[in-house]
Structure 1
């Protein structure tokens, strides 16, 4: 693969689709200091994944992602280039292996928004952990990390297991207990998402977990956790949550 050529092509095609109004709106919504071109995600994804339509060698895939991730304009990262870096990794995650978790971790640590973190956490790291369960202890360290986006990633990386019916219940329980008292909105929301997805497969497990943590979990986590529970269980837990000691 001509990595430099592909990066130039991707950027040129994205700029051909530039929408300055969308760019400014998106920049404000994300509270971003990056350069924004203003390309809708479906169009961005189509341009990005065209570079890896034919599966490239693993090294070329990683080089392409790294090159896109570091694109700058006037000394500032380019939002759509970073999104493209994530998209090519997601599209060809099957080419990655255990050696590549640190690559995703570096990108997450270099992120300042869920818009990059969430796909890296769930669809790259989560996919690798699901495929290679021996990687799961990496998430134990992440759950206690000082960096909020890394802690969020520890939770979101559990979602592929939940969605495929192979949940890591021990880690959901342990991470949930450790992070239940978090004040960070993005952690509270992520925990709620994991519990909500698990409730679609095993509502009884989620009911028991929520009952055991009523005094700790935030309203954000609670609302997500009970959203897909059977109506009777959700109503009973809601009454108990409202009546809990404060």
Structure 2
């Protein structure tokens, strides 16, 4: 049942997420952990196709994302491709890739390629890599808006949901930005994207968007 919920083909041991995180906490805190040690440990954990081991690798990378740079993006892309479940991809994208591309604008260009990739998980990662800064009221809105517009007609649920998720979280601090972006795209947005995007908006903004959606605008 857990495998079905996580959309995963990996072996599952049944270990709770909290227990995996607790087990990795002392490793993350090791003062002697450097970049190469981090990568070696993460890859060693990742190699067996076992969900909890891969989750441990992701938690390790998340905990020491400060040791990673744009040079690690090819490796992280490989992990995203192999993960094939939102439970791993979302953390890799938002909490590992995200800090790299936020602090290294040159590295962010790799997302321009990811967003057109045939792999749905790579495309989802391109969107979610921009989530955390946008949620905090900063971030590369123009890049996200460009990606979301290009993928607005996507039929993949996981893309529609990711677009709505970022719009929703951006709208909590900057509802006018999301409202202005969504208004001319009201009829194109899927129900999944729409429902998430309008959650933080004012009643007046939602009403205007509903009218535009009904009119086909």
Q: TM-score, normalised to structure 1's length?
A: 0.84
| Greater Cα shift, 159-168 or 138-147 | 159-168
The SS at the match of 1:181 is coil
Please list the CA deviations of residues 121-165 of structure 1 after superposition, one character each: whole Å capped at 9, or x if unmatched: 010001111111221111111111111111111100111220232
Structure 1 counterpart SS, 2:200: coil
Residue 111 of structure 1 deviates from its aligned partner by 1.7
Give the distance between the partners of 2:127 and 2:90, measured in 1 at CA.
10
Aligned residue for 1:8? none
User: Paired residue for 2:117?
Assistant: 145
1:95-106 aligned at under 5 Å gives the runs 95-106=67-78
Structure 2: tracts of 5 or more residues without a match: none
Match of 2:18 in 1: 42
Give secondary structure in 2 for the equivalent of 1:145: coil
Offset of residue 113 of structure 1: 0.8
Task: Give the whole-Å Cα distance in 2 for the aligned partners of 1:239 and 1:48.
Answer: 50
Q: Which residue of 2 aligns with 1:9?
A: none
Moved more, 189-198 or 161-170: 161-170
Measured in 2, the distance between the counterparts of 1:191 and 1:181 equals 11
Deviations 1:41-89, CA, capped at 9 Å, x for gaps: 1111111232222140110100000010002xxxxx1110000000000
1:99 Cα shift?
Answer: 1.1
Coordinate RMSD, CA, aligned:
1.4
From 171, 176, 179, give the equivalent of 2:143: 171
Is the CA contact 1:163–1:197 (under 8 Å) kept in the aligned structure 2? yes
| Structure label with greater radius of gyration | 1
Structure 1 residues 179, 28: closer, same or farther in 2, change over 3 A?
closer
Q: Which residue of 2 aligns with 1:237?
A: 209
Q: Give the alignment partner of residue 60 of structure 1, picking from 34, 37, 43.
A: 37
Q: Secondary structure at the match of 2:14?
A: coil
Aligned pairs, number: 216
Flag the 1:186–1:63 CA change in 2: closer, same or farther, 3 A.
same
Give structure 1 regions of 4+ aligned residues with deviation exceeding 4 angstroms. Answer: none
Give the number of the structure with larger relative contact order, counting CA–CA contacts within 8 Å between residues 6 or more apart: 2
Distance 1:34 1:138 in 2: 28
Alignment of 1:163-202 (within 5 A): 163-202=135-174
- The question of whether the paired residues in 2 share the 8 Å contact of 1:130 and 1:160 is answered with no
CA distance in 2, matches of 1:199, 1:132: 25
Q: Distance in 2 between matches of 1:123 and 1:180?
A: 24
Distance in 1, Cα, partners of 2:6 & 2:94: 20
